[in-house]
Structure 1
């Protein structure tokens, strides 16, 4: 019998220029959709959000790649669940649904394992 451990995943999220070009009303809709994405990640079967870190106060403007705007550290049961978490950016509607979250934010998942230290 194997003791299958969860995947340790760092979701690196960058806010796109489209967010900064949006109107105040559109930005509010993006924030509502972003909140739904974050909640959805935590509600995926077997997912456990460990924590997050946000650079928004010391980083100004879009982050097309590293350094990212915000990070979410999670344990995920398998690769398919990691994919489902990333897919939330493709499928979560913003406002009236004309656009999805990936117009405003991008995500890259880094998959590894928990670093264990000997006792």
Structure 2
């Protein structure tokens, strides 16, 4: 199977919550959640990104997720590699107080292509 020229990249953004989030005093987690919502909005609005869906596993997973299984996922079609990097960079630029979001969460992008649509 070969990739279709000009087709968007199918990207699974895997997001984990770091121990720093769980170390916050009770009541201070909302600032991280607000920054996360801000990051997701910026990701959705990023030119070249078409968010296809999200999944959050926070009701069945408690504690830090340093790797698989991740806490949440965003599946998107993305125009190119530089846009994937720009999306990941949001964790550096979105602020939580004096820190970047990366202090509390991490992201890993899995890049591939979509499977053939067999539903047609």
Task: Provide the TM-score with structure 2 as the length reference.
Answer: 0.91
| Distance apart, 1:25 and its partner CA | 4.1
Which ranges in structure 1 are unaligned for 5 or more consecutive residues? none
The corresponding residue for 2:110 is 110
Displacement of 1:3 in angstroms is 5.0
How big is each residue's C-alpha offset from its partner over 1:73-92, in whole Å with a ceiling of 9 and x where there is no partner? 00000011100000000111
1:54 and 1:13 mapped to 2: Cα distance?
9
1:4 and 2:11 correspond: no
Partner of 1:92: 94
Aligned to 2:38: 36
Which digits, 9 at most, give the CA deviation of each residue in 1:34-59, with x for residues without a partner? Answer: 00110111111121000011111111
Which residue matches 1:72?
Answer: 74
Distance 2:108 2:6 in 1: 24
Secondary structure at 2:75 match in 1: strand
Alignment size in residue pairs: 116
1:13 aligns with 15
TM-score when normalising by structure 1: 0.91
After TM superposition, what 4+ stretches of structure 1 lie above 6 angstroms from structure 2?
A: none
SS for the counterpart of 2:28 is helix
Instruction: Supply the distance in 2 between the matched residues of 1:23 and 1:92 (Cα, whole angstroms).
Output: 21
Deviation, 1:23, is 2.2
